[in-house]
């Protein structure tokens, strides 16, 4: 029997060679999103919503006289975000995403310029922008659009990515305005993630391994130098004068317990120290959902970036391990979708979004456990906050949309 193929009712946009047909049946799934990926997203969002309420009710009652204050806001964002994810997954096609990338990146730069010029200060940093009743961080949009622009550039210049002029220099030029604007916002976490995103996009895009390896070695050597010479580095006048926020975080990271009550750093060691107390008190099985002591005035704003420490306290190592496994499964499933994508651009977009997700999870947990200095990185789907959650769910909607058009090979049908 001859090999068969199933194609879209709208017409097949790809080319099937005779060699491809001889290898077996090639099926292009149309209209079905990747269900395991969607299930993992919804599961993480549900667990995250429960943890936001559990972590925030004491703080909300104390400061807002409403123990459901943050939980209600989070549920609103979850509903809007999930609806947005479903709309994007059904109606936004990869062609629109491709055309959006350049304009979207320029728009995100303009919004970040606006933050520097007229943004308002919250939690000691000028990172937020008000548009009517809506308050959001344009840095979240900038990271998203950086992935799309990198994917578009690589897909157009794939054959020349192994040269310095096409595979390295354009990405360096792309990085400069983004990092500069984020530096002016004192947004260290966004700088780190943006740099790493561009680096990994170069790597998966096929840039010369000679340059990729050199950059990686230089970065690893820099980190090793900082770790092994931290005491000397924190005495540098340049670091204290020009990068004061970085200086304080390095100082506290070295020994957070010494800076729990310290006027020079504004008691900056208090939060990471209380986070470590929360994690250590959780043990294997935790103290029980809702039973955390640290959220009762000890750990500042426990519903935000340090929510994972409350999860560790209440659900223990077992609960933390399950959540980490769910995130790992989500990322690996995303890469599976990327592997079966219909074209190079879609592969790069999905891979970039999964790298971003994985980086944020790893860096957040590293900060919460004081493995890295405090950088203000939110835990996706868990940390309370509207703009980060909405953009994360829109990103997942794009992955689901692309998953509708993946190719899967089957054995010979004869």
List pLDDT tens digits, range 214-227.
998 998 888 787 76
Looking at residue 27, what is its pLDDT?
Answer: 44
* More confident of the two residues 213 and 14: 213
Where residue 7 falls among pLDDT bands split at 50, 70, 90? very low
43-52, 218-227, 304-313, 386-395, range with the lowest pLDDT: 218-227
Nearest to 26 by CA among 36, 16, 34, 35: 16
Residue 25 confidence (pLDDT)? 42
Q: How far apart are CA 348 and CA 333, in angstroms?
A: 15
pLDDT score, position 374: 83
pLDDT of 8 reads: 37
Q: How much is the pLDDT for 243?
A: 65
In the chain, the N- to C-terminal Cα span, in Å, equals 5
Nearest to 274 by CA among 370, 178, 353: 370
* Average confidence score pLDDT of the chain: 85
- Is the pLDDT at 29 greater than 60? The verdict is no
How far is residue 56's CA from residue 48's CA, in Å, rounded to a whole number?
Answer: 12
Q: Measuring CA to CA, which residue among 155, 148, 175 is closest to residue 350?
A: 148
The per-residue pLDDT for 132 is 67
Of 244-248, 303-307, 310-314, 331-335, which range is least confident? Answer: 244-248
Residue 22 in this model has a pLDDT that exceeds 60: no
Whether 339 has a pLDDT exceeding 70, the answer reads yes
pLDDT at 180 over 50: yes
Q: Is pLDDT of 370 > 50?
A: yes
Spatial contact of 138 and 123, defined as CB atoms under 8 Å apart: no
pLDDT, mean of residues 306-310: 95
* Of 154, 100, 194, the residue nearest 345 (C-alpha): 154
SS3 182: helix
The pLDDT value given to residue 14:
42
Confidence band (pLDDT; 50, 70, 90) for 297? confident
Rounded to two decimals, the pTM is 0.88
pLDDT confidence bin for 51, thresholds 50/70/90: very high
Q: What is the distance between the alpha carbons of residues 272 and 283, in angstroms, rounded to a whole number?
A: 18
pLDDT attached to residue 159: 86
> Which comes out higher in pLDDT, residue 239 or 248?
248
Percent of the chain with pLDDT over 90: 54
199-208, 239-248, 361-370, range with the lowest pLDDT = 239-248
pLDDT per residue over 87-124, tens digit each?
Answer: 999 998 888 999 989 999 999 999 999 998 887 776 66
CA-angle at 20, arms to 16 and 26, nearest 5°: 75
How much is the pLDDT for 12? 39
What percentage of the chain exceeds 70 in pLDDT? Answer: 85
Whole-angstrom Cα distance, residue 369 to residue 277?
10
Mean pLDDT along residues 293-319: 93
Q: What pLDDT, on the 0 to 100 scale, is given for residue 28?
A: 47
Reply yes or no on whether the pLDDT at 1 is more than 60: no
Instruction: Answer yes or no: is pLDDT of 15 > 60.
Output: no
CA dist., res. 143 & res. 231, Å (int): 32
């Amino acid at each position: 029997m001859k090999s068969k193929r199933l194609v879209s009712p709208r017409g097949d946009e790809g080319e099937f060679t005779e060699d491809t047909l001889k290898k077996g049946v090639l099926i292009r799934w149309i209209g079905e999103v990747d269900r395991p990926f969607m299930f993992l997203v919804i599961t993480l969002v549900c667990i995250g919503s429960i943890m936001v309420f559990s972590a925030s009710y004491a703080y909300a009652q104390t400061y807002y006289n409403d123990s459901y204050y943050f939980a209600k806001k989070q549920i609103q964002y979850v509903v809007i975000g999930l609806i947005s994810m479903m709309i994007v997954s059904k109606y936004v096609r990869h062609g629109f995403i491709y055309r959006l990338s350049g304009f979207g990146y320029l728009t995100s730069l303009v919004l970040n310029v606006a933050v520097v010029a007229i943004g308002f200060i919250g939690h000691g940093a000028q990172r937020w922008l008000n548009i009517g009743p809506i308050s959001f961080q344009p840095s979240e949009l900038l990271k998203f659009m950086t992935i799309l622009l990198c994917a578009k550039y690589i897909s157009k210049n794939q054959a020349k990515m192994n040269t310095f002029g096409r595979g390295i220099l354009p990405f360096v030029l792309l990085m400069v305005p983004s990092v500069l604007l984020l530096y002016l916002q004192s947004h260290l976490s966004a700088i780190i993630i943006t740099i790493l995103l561009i680096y990994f996009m170069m790597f998966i895009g096929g840039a010369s391994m000679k340059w990729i390896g050199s950059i990686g070695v230089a970065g690893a050597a820099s980190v090793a130098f900082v770790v092994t010479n931290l005491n000397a580095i924190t005495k540098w006048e340049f670091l204290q004068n020009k990068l004061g926020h970085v200086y304080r975080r390095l100082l506290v990271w070295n020994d957070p317990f010494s800076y729990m009550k310290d006027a020079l750093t504004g008691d900056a060691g208090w939060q990471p120290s209380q986070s470590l107390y929360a994690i250590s008190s959780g043990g294997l099985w935790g103290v029980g959902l809702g039973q955390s002591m640290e959220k009762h005035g000890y750990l500042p704003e426990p519903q935000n970036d340090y929510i994972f420490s409350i999860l560790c306290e209440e659900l223990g190592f077992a609960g933390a391990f399950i959540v980490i496994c769910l995130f790992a499964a989500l990322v690996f499933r995303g890469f599976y979708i990327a592997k079966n994508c219909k074209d190079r651009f879609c592969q790069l977009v999905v891979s970039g979004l999964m790298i971003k997700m994985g980086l944020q999870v790893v860096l957040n947990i590293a900060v919460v456990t004081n493995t890295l200095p405090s950088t203000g990185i939110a835990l996706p789907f868990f940390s309370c906050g509207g703009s980060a959650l909405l953009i994360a769910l829109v990103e997942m909607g794009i992955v689901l949309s692309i998953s509708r058009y993946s190719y899967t090979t089957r054995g010979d049908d004869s």
